[in-house]
Amino acid sequence: DDQEKPGMYAALTLMESTLREGLSKFSSTGLAVYAISEASMGSFENAYRYGRLAATLASKSTCIGSQSATMSLLAVCATHWKIPVRDLVEPFSRAFSMCFSIGNLWYGTMSSSNNLMASL
């Protein structure tokens, strides 16, 4: 049921848009959400590959809003698949700084709270 999986629906819609129309400023965020969706289905290797692709696209993006959302989502939900949580203090800090620099309180707070947990 599509209503039970809004994150997956949003990710697939962004992925379809990227495939049909080409890359946009939201492509990296769509790939990050898709990576998280892959992980939720147990496909961790695919999830990691899509997460890396999302990070690469975000690093080349000029849209700080999409870049901050992508990096925050990856830091919170994806990076720990291959990197121990204790080694995530720097990615969480980067995501936090990026988010708060543009006033993105939702993703900034998410990154900040996970930074605190990783620091403990």
The answer to whether residues 85 and 62 touch, using CB atoms and an 8 Å cutoff, is no
- Secondary structure of residue 109 in the 3-state scheme: helix
pLDDT for res 79:
66
In the three-class reduction of DSSP (H, G, I as helix; E, B as strand; rest coil), residue 99 is classed as helix
Q: Which has more pLDDT, 118 or 98?
A: 98
Taking only the tens place, the pLDDT of each residue in 6-42 is 767 777 888 888 889 988 888 888 888 888 888 888 8
At 97-110, the pLDDT tens digits run 877 788 877 777 76
The reported pLDDT for the residue numbered 20 is: 92
From CA 1, how far away is CA 61, in angstroms rounded? 33
Q: At what angle do helices 64-77 and 44-60 cross, to 10 degrees?
A: 150
The region of weakest confidence among 45-49, 70-74, 105-109 is 105-109
Task: Name which of 39, 43, 68 is nearest 55 in CA terms.
Answer: 68
- Length of the chain (residues): 120
Note the pLDDT tens digit of each residue in 59-69.
Answer: 888 887 788 78
